[in-house]
Structure 1
């Protein structure tokens, strides 16, 4: 008797991705418009129709190809290499400007706005003085 390998069991992959995303079967069922028992049956199925897989993948926030090719090993590899600064997964989050210069620039803009506001208030006072004299 031949048993299917976990690598080809789409239902188990959906279940694992759903768990990793923190989505309960009830929530997935509600999004799909089916019962929780139907989701449980899908997750026990080795093969799933492409149309259903597309709907599920959208709800889980992954592509259907990602579900088909999902393995625990690739997930672990990705997580391990996400923090390895010598890998291709390194994200370059360097500023393209000097933050201190930006702060000074914003401060100067604020000073200019306050000066214009003060000037406007002075003009109002002068107008009110003229109106009181008349």
Structure 2
């Protein structure tokens, strides 16, 4: 006994593309001007008419053919064949400054500010002493 594969179930493809795009059914429904239940019905449908499929494709940011030819295996193959880690690249994603230098600079600036504040208080005390005499 053979089981029929549901490889060409357009509704499931729409659902999966929507999920991969990080879109909720409500959002897709708003884009299409229909209810969330209507989107659910579309995603459960094996076939969708061409005009509606064009609208859905536009809302999802893909082509109609992209939906029709969508397959999880193809996506995984593309990712597997194009993603690689190259640790030998000259790009440095670390800090471009030494955090300790920044901390020392802040400490020095704070120290100077404190000394100016202290001098201002001394000047104020001197001025008040002159007024009292």
Report TM bin, short chain: 0.5 to 0.7
- Does the CA contact (< 8 Å) of 1:25 and 1:36 recur in 2? yes
> How far 1:34 sits from its partner (Å)?
2.1
Q: Which residue of 121, 128, 131 maps to 1:125?
A: 121
Contiguous gaps of at least 5 residues in structure 1: 58-62
Partners of 2:74 and 2:15 lie apart in 1 by 16
> How far 1:15 sits from its partner (Å)?
0.6
Structure with bigger gyration radius = 2
Report the secondary structure of 2:92's partner residue: coil
1:50 — aligned with what?
Answer: 54
**1:64 counterpart = 2:58:** no
Report the secondary structure of 1:64's partner residue: coil
2:99 — aligned with what?
Answer: 103
Partners of 1:31 and 1:127 lie apart in 2 by 70
* TM-score calculated relative to the size of structure 1: 0.59
- The CA RMSD over aligned residues, in Å, is 3.8
- Given the superposition, is the C-alpha separation of residues 120 and 70 from structure 1 closer, same or farther in structure 2, using an over 3 Å criterion? farther
2:3 — aligned with what?
Answer: none
Q: Number of paired residues?
A: 118
Contiguous gaps of at least 5 residues in structure 2: 1-5
- Does the CA contact (< 8 Å) of 1:14 and 1:67 recur in 2? no
* TM-score calculated relative to the size of structure 2: 0.59
- Comparing 113-122 with 100-109, greater Cα deviation is found at 100-109
> How far 1:31 sits from its partner (Å)?
5.5
